[in-house]
A and B are shown apart, each in its own frame.
Chain A
Amino acid sequence: MQAVLIPVLTLLKSWVRPDAFQTVLSERGGRWYNACLRITRDADLAADAVQEALLKAWDRRHEFRGDAALDSWIHRIALNAAIDLTRRRKTRAEDELDEDGHEAAPASAPESDYALQALTEDLSAAMQRLSSMERQVFLLKHIEGWRLDEIAETTHTTVAGVKHALFRAVKKLRVDLHVWRGES
């Protein structure tokens, strides 16, 4: 009988009102934006990712399980959107590679410049030397605490691939930080 009743409870718990979205957006929008900004390193993409997450969450609000925070749910959707948008931009940019193999620069906007300047100032040089994949995997694991299999699913790779990217990222950071293997 519990198997019948639990879905009813879940249904009720999934009841998300518009004002709940309003509240969580005003309180946590900045956190989502910054998380996406770390992934995309592009203010426009980060803003797009949050907006996409909001709309997607609203459309799927009946799927929301009340046992998780609405904030966490949208945060995760936003990160997925950020990774997806970055992947799509990268694909477009690869199509526009010049003869020297340099990646086409993304379109610049005042907001992009502002956020990127702040980001560039604050991110360490080591972090910036990571590839897009390495940075995403490292951030999702080290900052966001995702499981390896979750990262693999989101980044469309295998768990082994995620591990390799993670180890590469840390090794690159090791070179700059001189802490790997106990160095100081």
Chain B
Amino acid sequence: MISDEDLLLYYYRELEADERARISAALAEQPELAQRLHKLVARLDTVAATPEVPVPASVQQRWQSALDGAVRGDSRAAPSRRTFTNPRWLAMAAGLAVVALAVTFQVMQPRTSGLAQIEPPGSEAPAAVEGAAYENGLKFHLASTERQIAALGEATPEERARLIETIIAQNRLYALAAERAGEPQLARVLRAFTPILDDLAHGRGETTAANVAQLSFELRVMQARLGAGAATTNTL
């Protein structure tokens, strides 16, 4: 005998596997039981569903003001973090961080034929990347990188060195551009990636963990600064 409570928990997927299997089999064998569950769920759906009511304009304004105040307050609370206010530099710096990570992943992992298919995202034109589109692209790339971790094989030393050389060269260009744009701190952060990448290129594995920790720290610093910069360049 299947109780009403068990049927409901079955529908909500809150039963243990064996109990779920038992009810699933019973539902397959007893059409009336399946009909009973179907009717119950349909009615519960009906009674639970309510048409959406519009948000009063005054409430929307209040939310906007509150969020705006929080963003401004955040910027005021940490004025020293207002380093990078140009969205172009936001995109460039974050792009570089992803490049460094992508390379790091590749040199750490076993080699597969997919290695050559990964293109450094820093090769994109940074100025063309904006706001949400950039953020979405970045997240997509990060997610893809995560998926690739398990699939990547071990790169040969030659492959490793060649790829990292390319990235280091790009870093130098970005660092130069940052200096010319009057962003010396950004340039410093970009250059900080070079020795880390260099170590990886030359297979100095014993320093890898420390390098990654350093990379993580640099990213945190950059993120904090970029976050503050973004906060000051967006009006909510």
Contact = CB atoms under 8 A, between A and B. Distances in A.
User: Is chain B found bound to chain A in the same assembly?
Assistant: yes
Interface of A: 1-2, 4-9, 11-13, 15, 17-23, 25, 29-31, 33-34, 37-38, 43, 47, 50-51, 54-55, 58-59, 61-62, 66-67, 111, 114-115, 118-119, 122-124, 126-127, 138-139, 141-143, 147-148, 163, 166-167, 170, 173, 177, 179-182, 184
Contacts of A7: 216
A107 to B, nearest CB: 16
Nearest to B97: A12
Contact of A37 (B12, B44, B53, B208): B53
A180 B42 CA distance: 11
B201 interface: no
21 contacts: A8-B216, A12-B98, A12-B142, A13-B139, A18-B234, A22-B67, A29-B60, A29-B63, A34-B53, A43-B59, A54-B67, A55-B66, A58-B71, A66-B142, A111-B58, A115-B56, A138-B48, A170-B44, A173-B47, A177-B47, A179-B39
Given A1-B208, A5-B105, A8-B215, 18 more contacts: A2-B149, A9-B146, A12-B97, A12-B101, A15-B94, A15-B135, A15-B223, A17-B230, A21-B67, A54-B67, A55-B70, A62-B223, A114-B53, A118-B51, A167-B5, A167-B8, A177-B43, A182-B35
Interface residues of B, number: 67
Contacts of A5: 101, 104-105, 108, 149, 212
A114 B59 CA distance: 13
B19 interface: no
Given A1-B208, A12-B142, A47 B101 contact: no
Q: Decide if the interface of chain B is mainly helix, strand, loop or mixed.
A: helix
Contact of A115 (B9, B39, B53, B108): B53
Given A33-B55, A66-B139, A182-B35, A123 B70 contact: no
A58 B139 CA distance: 19
Contacts of B12: 141-142, 148
A126 B50 contact: no
Contacts of B53: 33-34, 37, 114-115, 118-119
Contacts of B4: 167, 170, 180-181
A34 B56 CA distance: 12
A127 B131 contact: no
B131 A19 contact: yes
B52 interface: yes
Interface of B: 4-5, 8-9, 12, 14, 32, 35-36, 39-40, 43-48, 50-56, 58-60, 62-64, 66-67, 70-71, 74, 94, 97-98, 101, 104-105, 108, 131-132, 135, 138-139, 142-143, 145-146, 149, 208-209, 212-213, 215-216, 219-220, 223, 226-227, 230-231, 234, 236
B226 to A, nearest CB: 8
Contacts of A38: 50
A25 B226 CA distance: 22
B70 A58 contact: yes
B43 A173 contact: yes
Nearest to A1: B108
B64 A25 contact: yes
B227 A166 contact: no
Contacts of A17: 131, 135, 227, 230, 234
